[in-house]
Structure 1
Amino acid sequence: MRLRLTLGSALSLLLSGIIAASPGGLLPQWQEVFDPGSRLSLYFNLYLGGLLLGLTLARLTPVRHPWFPMAMVLAGLGLLGVASAQSFDAVLWAALPLGLGVGAINLSGNSLPGDLYPERRMIVLSQVNAAFGVGAIATPFLVSFFPWREVLTAFAVLAFLGAALVWKAPASRPPAADGGHPGNGWLWLLVLAIGLYAGLEQGFATFSGAYLTELGYPTALAGALLSAYWVAFTAGRLLMAYWVARDPLRHLTWLVCGAVGVALLYFLPPLPLLFPLAGFLIGPVFTTLMALGQGRAGNAAVAYALYAGASGSTLVPALFALLPVAGIPWGLLLVGLALLALTQRLRRLDARTAL
């Protein structure tokens, strides 16, 4: 049973990665078929509303069964709604159930492995989270080179399979007593940093393809580079985890500086073709910040991190959607600089606490 539930958690996070990467991969097709215009911002806002509601319901309900499998089914139904959409209005109707399902999936899928393997929580959670990267890697490639409606239908079938695997998932364990932390100010700065990080991650993922097509590059190339972005993202999270852990905030500062440098490349065509480098650099940021929060402020910080990630990954792209395509580099640069400033502030506060 433990193996089945572990596989189900991995499949749930695979689905989360699929849905997270879908707007970036589908945006060129949506522009061609639906011409969504400014309504794209409404999609992100509806998705955010559903995601926050799903996360809240999951946080307030320690019982995972039947809510976890129901969330998987709901996300699958949302994917079917997008796959069968004949207008962008139908896509908008699917945004809310997609967000609702993903919100509950993110909390349950991330917390269940820790309850199943308390003695190896960090190792198993890192391994299971790799599924998110796999979903994010595969999605832009698949929807660019194969009929996107059929691809989304296949993803919906995976969601229904995942619901069967997490059937009868056990309730959450009571939170353990955690150590002290350097104050609420530090925690809220951490939460804000996570929100900006999530916005930067999705900004690169969602709008780089549209920016490249605006520069005259083919849609297939943009989709392939977006898949390369998620490959680099997953590789960075796995390969740099041990290095970042040696001095987390110092090393994160260096990585965010590198991401700002990639944003500057957008002003210098054809260098925007190098945007997958940003994925490698920011890959470890979220997991490192969430681990810092959990270590300093307890298990409640995990929920706060997910709230921040959900908000940032939706609100920041919604703001980007209001920009002309030529303004995307400025948006990426400003968000990256804000994240850099927050990381430096956290580093200084952390140093004072150590004294």
Structure 2
Amino acid sequence: MQTLPSLPDTAVRPDRPFSTPAVVASCIGFVLIGALQSLYGPALPALRQEYGLSPSGAGLALSAHFVGGVAGVLGFDRAFGRIGNRALLGASYALMALGSVAFAFSPGWPLALLGALVTGFGFGGIDYGLNQLFATGFGRRSPAMLNILNAHFGIGAIAGPALIGLFGADRYPAVFTGFAVMAALLLIPLGGVRDRHPGGLPADTAAHPAVRRARRTAALLTVFVVLYVLHVGVEAAVGGWEPTHLEAVGYSATLAASATSVYWLMLTLGRFLVAPLTLRWSEPAIIAVSCGGTALCLLAAVQPGLAPYAYAGVGLFIAPIFPTGLPWLRRAVPAARRAGALVIAASMVGGVAAGPALGKVIELFEVRAVPAVLFVLAAVCLAATCWLARATRAPSQASGGPGQPLG
């Protein structure tokens, strides 16, 4: 019986944290968390009717989910390395399953909010845990694998509302229950996850001067956080305010809704398309092009005739930033495991704050100002990326090719 714990690792290559079936299961896990996050909005009408809620009261469900997500990222970061990878991911899937069932069948709104909070906690654990393992487990292929992994989040985000539309908002308990069952089933392939991935920080990262210079480390981490908060804020704001902006400039509600669906589709497609490019180009180069393209598309969206197409371009360009930046962050910032948790948690905060913050801006100006405001944020992201590229470029790489890693 003493050999049983080591058996699951026999299917895992010594240099990888996952077997092939576990990689597939991880992608399904990201479909799951993408779908769960996207279910609350379409279910709002049924929630209001069932519990007698105001619009703001019903919206607390998504807020509770994100609060749980931030707590899950930070909580599991504390446990990462102290408990095995299987235990971390298994607990996360179990919490998502329990929380989803609790949300679906709670007799009262406070218990439903608790269910959303628990679901979010598991969501944060999966988001952090799989991003962390993919960022460290595939060598030069890590940026490509991270883009593929996060593209599956987009598939789930598209599929979730589609399922609510198919079955009806009043049947949201059945949809949440279905995803709870999926979360429970994903416990099975965890045997293909290496419980302890060998090695810590790469040797080149450990030797980087930033390890020994706390002020430089703090500056790098601060700019990475700014990049993540703002770009996720732009991503969420376009998804939330694109329909309102398009209707304000003369498009029908049907076309505005369709254009927003295309935006999310392009965001998902962009991550698949950039995966092979990460094998030839450095992360800073890819992110700089992404930020620049996002800014130009938002500038084009100021013109009503170009707006629907420009927003689709935003989805395509902004797609690679989140997953491609994590391996770069790991090499650039000492103790990158903790840094990764901080930027993922900060990005969640950015996504939550984007809607209300942009709403306040619109109150001061008008909804037509949405793309101009977001253009400014994208331009700041580009400036942050350029600063980080210069700050993390080693002297010996000043004349290196685009495919050479930094750090």
1:190-216 superposed Cα distances (whole Å, 9 cap, x missing partner): 222112112212222233345556766
Distance 1:207 1:152, change over 3 A: farther
1:176 aligns with 2:201: yes
Partner of 2:128: 107
Give the residue type in structure 1 aligned to 2:76: A
Deviation at 1:265, TM superposition (A): 4.9
State the distance in 2 between where 1:293 and 1:176 align. Answer: 12
Distance 1:285 1:43, change over 3 A: same
State the distance in 1 between where 2:119 and 2:358 align. Answer: 21
Structure 2 counterpart of 1:261, from 296, 312, 325: 296
Distance 1:154 1:19, change over 3 A: same
Taking the TM superposition and a 5 Å limit, the aligned residue runs for 1:47-58 are 47-58=65-76
Structure 1 counterpart of 2:151, from 110, 123, 130: 130
Q: Does structure 1 conserve the Cα–Cα contact (< 8 Å) formed by 2:220 and 2:333? A: no
Give the residue type in structure 2 aligned to 1:6: V
Moved more, 249-258 or 20-29: 20-29
Partner of 1:98: 119
Give aligned pairs, total.
354
Structure 2 counterpart of 1:294, from 330, 345, 365: 330
SS in 1 for 2:186: helix
Structure 1 stretches of 5 or more lacking a match?
Answer: none
Moved more, 238-247 or 82-91: 82-91
State the distance in 2 between where 1:79 and 1:239 align. Answer: 32
Q: Between the two proteins, what is the percent identity of the paired residues?
A: 23
State the distance in 2 between where 1:99 and 1:111 align. Answer: 18
State the distance in 1 between where 2:41 and 2:244 align. Answer: 8
Partner of 1:236: 270
Q: Does structure 2 conserve the Cα–Cα contact (< 8 Å) formed by 1:51 and 1:100? A: yes
Q: Does structure 2 conserve the Cα–Cα contact (< 8 Å) formed by 1:181 and 1:296? A: no
Deviation at 1:104, TM superposition (A): 0.6
Partner of 1:332: 374
Give the residue type in structure 1 aligned to 2:163: L
Deviation at 1:238, TM superposition (A): 2.5
SS in 1 for 2:152: helix
State the distance in 2 between where 1:105 and 1:264 align. Answer: 35
Give the residue type in structure 1 aligned to 2:384: L
Moved more, 163-172 or 295-304: 163-172
Structure 2 stretches of 5 or more lacking a match?
Answer: 1-7, 9-18, 211-215, 399-407
Taking the TM superposition and a 5 Å limit, the aligned residue runs for 1:71-220 are 71-83=92-104, 92-112=113-133, 121=142, 124-148=145-169, 149=172, 150-166=174-190, 169-173=193-197, 174-178=199-203, 179=205, 180=208, 183-184=216-217, 185-209=219-243, 211-212=245-246, 217-218=252-253
Distance 1:125 1:19, change over 3 A: same
Partner of 2:316: 280
State the distance in 1 between where 2:385 and 2:299 align. Answer: 19
Deviation at 1:164, TM superposition (A): 3.5
1:64-86 superposed Cα distances (whole Å, 9 cap, x missing partner): 34442232232234444555579
Deviation at 1:155, TM superposition (A): 2.6
Moved more, 80-89 or 64-73: 80-89
Deviation at 1:266, TM superposition (A): 4.8
State the distance in 2 between where 1:3 and 1:125 align. Answer: 15
State the distance in 1 between where 2:323 and 2:23 align. Answer: 19
Partner of 1:342: 384
Moved more, 258-267 or 113-122: 113-122
State the distance in 2 between where 1:122 and 1:113 align. Answer: 8
State the distance in 2 between where 1:237 and 1:113 align. Answer: 15
Deviation at 1:232, TM superposition (A): 1.2
- TM-score normalized by structure 1? 0.79
Q: Does structure 2 conserve the Cα–Cα contact (< 8 Å) formed by 1:69 and 1:164? A: no
- TM-score normalized by structure 2? 0.71
State the distance in 1 between where 2:281 and 2:31 align. Answer: 28
Alpha carbon RMSD of aligned pairs, Å? Answer: 3.9
State the distance in 1 between where 2:264 and 2:356 align. Answer: 21
Q: Does structure 2 conserve the Cα–Cα contact (< 8 Å) formed by 1:199 and 1:313? A: yes
Distance 1:164 1:35, change over 3 A: same
SS in 1 for 2:187: helix
Q: Does structure 2 conserve the Cα–Cα contact (< 8 Å) formed by 1:140 and 1:227? A: no
